[in-house]
Amino acid sequence: MDHFLYRDGQLFAEDVPVSEIAAAVGTPFYVYSTATLTRHFKLFDDALDGLDHLVCFAMKSLSNQAILKVLANAGAGMDVVSGGEYARAKAAGVPGEKIVFSGVGKTVDEMRMALEGGIRQFNVESEPEMIVLDQVAQSLGVVAPITVRVNPDVDAKTHAKIATGKSENKFGIPISRAREVYAMAAKMPGLKVIGIDVHIGSQLTDLAPFEAAYLKVAELTKQLRADGHEITRLDLGGGLGIPYARSNEAPPLPSDYGALIKKCVGDLGVEVEIEPGRLISGNAGLMVSKVIYVKEGEDRKFLIIDGAMNDLIRPAMYEAYHDIVPVVEPAPATEPATYDIVGPVCESGDTFAKSRAMAPVHADDLIAFRSAGAYGAVMASEYNSRPLIPEVLVDKDQFAVIRPRPTYEEMIARDTLPPWL
């Protein structure tokens, strides 16, 4: 459920007409709903009610400072995967004890930054990383709390680019070697083993792979405890999918996911952490764009819009589907037209949808890409020297620009010339 609904023939973001935002900031732009963000966070928080738990927002899905503040105010911790994300979380007022550091290639500088600024735990992904973290912690005279990310060799049955839990993926340590690696960690004075971490992929639309992974983690918890390790926290990752097409069968609900977690690990007496990204931010955002031209091709109509692959790369990168709707609500019995919806970038990959049936639109009409809150703005670039598009946050009847569109001058001023030019 989200808060982008038609009202009086117009698409609204909460209580603000999308067309009003477009008039104020120009197109294309991203707009996010505070109510949807907090609602989705609360669904997870409530789903784990009764367990000692923390929901850490995977901020790689959407990392604007205003968004982080909204979620931090609601009680969220943060899952970060870089020094930049750590700095953003801290700048948004998230205390170190609510920040989890994930990622397969943490650098010495990133480790030092987090150890000095405070960290809930590092999710360690390899033995070389473990050795370096031990050294960095010792050099600072502190002890780094860690989990080891195990790779359970479970098929998440999702797009290959976002599956992370099979043995061929680069993530984590094979679960079969976990006991050996935990034994190694226990001997390192700069580390304190506190738990186990697992994350098998993104956009999962079925609970079965989660169940397979969590049961393996529960089994491992018992083995590691028998080996003498204190396992007090399980980080069960993120990855719950969202419906991108409204007609599609709905993915599992956070409440069912929570019930599954309780079933798999509820009797272990551990604190549970989860790291959802997309399910919190995905349907909390739209990308709004304007039709520049309707071009008649030989055998098809092209809708050429002012948004492009540099603004929203998911269709080009993952063959992702986004619902695309006109901002003016079509009359009930409107015959759909069929379009290839493309951006102006000089690549054939700059295609958002092929043969898409939608209500007919014309030059200068506004259209909205649904489910664009996650992995949208954060993956944007200035390819073709198209300035990063603005981000807007709505809260009831108010809206504010939370990242302005740079001018051409600002974009150019970021480059510096060497002295000899």
Ligand X SMILES: *Cc1c(COP(=O)(O)O)cnc(C)c1O
Active site residues: 346
Taking CB under 6 A as the rule, does residue 239 contact ligand X? yes
Cα angle: 155, vertex 375, 149; to 5 degrees: 40
* Interface with ligand X (CB under 6 A), residue from 28, 152, 195, 277: 277
Minimum gap (Å) between residue 158 Cβ and ligand X: 9
Taking CB under 6 A as the rule, does residue 376 contact ligand X? no
CA distance 373 to 36: 11
Taking CB under 6 A as the rule, does residue 233 contact ligand X? no
Taking CB under 6 A as the rule, does residue 289 contact ligand X? no
Minimum gap (Å) between residue 271 Cβ and ligand X: 17
Minimum gap (Å) between residue 152 Cβ and ligand X: 14
Take residue 92 and report the two structure tokens written for it: 């948004």
Task: Name the nearest CA neighbour of 311 among 378, 399, 235.
Answer: 378
Taking the least distance from each CB to ligand X, the nearer of 60 and 106 is 60
Taking CB under 6 A as the rule, does residue 238 contact ligand X? yes
Taking CB under 6 A as the rule, does residue 102 contact ligand X? yes
**251 close to 40: Cβ distance less than 8 angstroms:** no
Minimum gap (Å) between residue 153 Cβ and ligand X: 17
Here's the x/- map for ligand X, 295-334, by CB under 6 A: it reads as: ----------------------------------------
Taking the least distance from each CB to ligand X, the nearer of 199 and 386 is 199
Q: At what angle do helices 178-186 and 208-226 cross, to 10 degrees?
A: 50
Q: Which stretch in 232-240, 264-272, 306-314, 337-345 sits in contact with ligand X by CB under 6 A?
A: 232-240
Minimum gap (Å) between residue 174 Cβ and ligand X: 17
The amino acid that residue 203 corresponds to is Q
Taking the least distance from each CB to ligand X, the nearer of 25 and 58 is 58
* Interface with ligand X (CB under 6 A), residue from 61, 147, 283, 371: 61
Taking CB under 6 A as the rule, does residue 202 contact ligand X? yes
- Segment 72-101, which members bind ligand X (CB under 6 A)? 79
* Interface with ligand X (CB under 6 A), residue from 145, 237, 285, 315: 237
Taking CB under 6 A as the rule, does residue 275 contact ligand X? yes
Taking CB under 6 A as the rule, does residue 60 contact ligand X? yes
Taking the least distance from each CB to ligand X, the nearer of 337 and 379 is 379
Taking CB under 6 A as the rule, does residue 199 contact ligand X? yes
* Interface with ligand X (CB under 6 A), residue from 278, 314, 322, 386: 278
Q: Spell 154-165 as b/e; 16+ CB within 10 A means b.
A: bebebeeebbbb
Taking the least distance from each CB to ligand X, the nearer of 277 and 376 is 277
Taking the least distance from each CB to ligand X, the nearer of 55 and 220 is 55
CA distance 139 to 134: 9
Taking the least distance from each CB to ligand X, the nearer of 56 and 304 is 56
Q: Which stretch in 107-115, 269-277, 283-291, 413-421 sits in contact with ligand X by CB under 6 A?
A: 269-277
Q: Which stretch in 83-91, 196-204, 312-320, 379-387 sits in contact with ligand X by CB under 6 A?
A: 196-204
Minimum gap (Å) between residue 405 Cβ and ligand X: 26
Judged by the rule CB under 6 A, the positions of this chain that interact with ligand X are 58, 60-61, 79, 102, 199, 202-203, 237-239, 275-279, 374
